[in-house]
Amino acid sequence: RGRRRGRPWQGQSGSAEETPSVVVPEAQSSHKDVDEGGAETAAAFARSAPKAGFLSKLGKNIHQYKRRFFVLKPTTHLYYFVSPTDSEPRGCIDLDCLSSTTTLREVETLPDGRFRFEIIIADRENGVYDEGTHVSTDLDGLERTDNPHVQRIMLEARNEEVGREWMSMIDKERLSCARSDIDTLEHEKLELQSRVDELEKQVENFRLVEKDRDMAVQDASEWRKKFHRLDEAVRLLTQQIRRPPKIESPKNAGENSAESGILQGGNSVSALDATKNQSSVKDDGTDETDTAEKEPRKYLQEDTVQIKTNNDIVDNPAEGSAGSVTFDQPRESS
């Protein structure tokens, strides 16, 4: 027979002839020895197995127990062959799928001494669907036909001692595999924890880098403000330098000229003092400059002017009252 492939519980349907009975793992050839003809036998396969021997299995199409050669591998796969000389297994039961809700259970002991037990798989998706699962049952022992969630695999040993030995070995190998899985998971957990610690360190480093970056951004902002202030100061200074010179007022110009005269002449009257005298104001509010201009007029009025007939005008000092003017009469001829 050719090797049967595919898992019948993954969406396959139809009659028993259309549905493959079991799944044979691809890695099973690594567990086999090769005989003289190049074919691997069940007996050679059983050499490295912790448990091997004959059991009867309830068939699917014909509801009868069929004698099969079973080989229990440490990988918790229970292979079975028609005979020890077969090179291909008839099927394989994956015991890894057995969970806390799936158990090994003793069924009955027949009067002739045969011992029957069963493997109950609660979840069809994680179980094995093969020729021995034509009857389904729930965990309360109530049988249900074609129950998609519970699988039942019935096995029969020649006596109770052999049957219980098989049950013990299946449990032992399953627990051994579970312990191995636990060890593997613990190792993976340690690796993951180490990875988590490393990632936490990286996160802390990233936080420090981010903090440094924020401080650098803050410093850059402060320097940018200082630069703007300096740029504004340079701009104002440039405007001040380019501004045209301020024109001095006449007063300031006179003061500057007076100071220049003092420096050049040395003996002349200070122009600055003259300017100050001109701009000084008397106590009664009269400008001294105006007073000096009015004095000659006053003197002219006070002088006595004599007018002669010969149109000669002679200025004479005043002999009479102040401000009087006299005219000499022409002399009569004798």
Nearest to 79 by CA among 17, 160, 21: 21
- Decide if 58 is inside a domain: yes
Number of domains comprising the chain: 1
Give per-residue pLDDT as tens, 152-201. 888 888 888 888 888 888 777 766 666 667 778 888 899 999 999 999 99
- Decide if 253 is inside a domain: no
- Decide if 301 is inside a domain: no
Torsion angles phi and psi, residue 55, rounded to 5: -140, 155
pLDDT at 123: 58
Residue 206: count other Cβ atoms within 10 Å of its Cβ: 10
Nearest to 275 by CA among 255, 252, 250: 255
Which residues, 6+ apart, have CB-to-CB distance to 83 below 8 Å? 42, 69
Residue 140, domain extent: 26-182
Give me the tens of pLDDT residue by residue for the chain, a chain 334 residues long: 333 333 332 333 333 333 333 333 333 444 444 545 556 677 887 777 777 888 888 877 777 888 888 888 766 677 788 888 887 888 877 766 545 456 778 888 888 888 988 887 765 454 444 444 333 333 333 344 455 567 788 888 888 888 888 888 877 776 666 666 777 888 889 999 999 999 999 999 999 999 888 899 989 999 999 999 999 999 899 888 888 777 766 666 566 665 555 555 554 444 445 555 555 544 444 555 555 555 555 544 544 444 444 444 444 444 444 444 444 555 544 4
- Decide if 64 is inside a domain: yes
d(CA 81, CA 73): 14
- Decide if 30 is inside a domain: yes
d(CA 6, CA 20): 7
Residues in the chain: 334
Label the pairing between strands 151-157 and 313-316. Answer: unpaired
For residue 211, the surrounding DSSP H or E stretch is: helix 160-242
Contact at 8 Å (CB) between 107 and 116? Answer: yes
Beta strands across the sheet bearing 65-72? 91-94, 77-81, 65-72, 51-58, 151-157, 115-121, 103-109
* Residue 25 burial (C-beta neighbours within 10 Å; 0-12, 13-18, 19+): middle
Q: What is the CATH number of the domain that holds 172?
A: 2.30.29.30
- Decide if 96 is inside a domain: yes
Which residues, 6+ apart, have CB-to-CB distance to 148 below 8 Å? 124
* Residue 53 burial (C-beta neighbours within 10 Å; 0-12, 13-18, 19+): middle
pLDDT > 70 fraction of the chain, expressed in percent and rounded: 48
- Decide if 52 is inside a domain: yes
- Decide if 172 is inside a domain: yes
Nearest to 1 by CA among 91, 92, 88: 88
Give per-residue pLDDT as tens, 65-109. 888 888 887 666 777 888 888 878 888 777 665 454 567 788 888
Could you report how far apart the first and last alpha carbons of the chain are, in Å? 201
**Which residue's structure tokens are 């069809």?**
124
Residue 30: count other Cβ atoms within 10 Å of its Cβ: 7
Instruction: Kindly report the average pLDDT of the chain as a whole number.
Output: 65
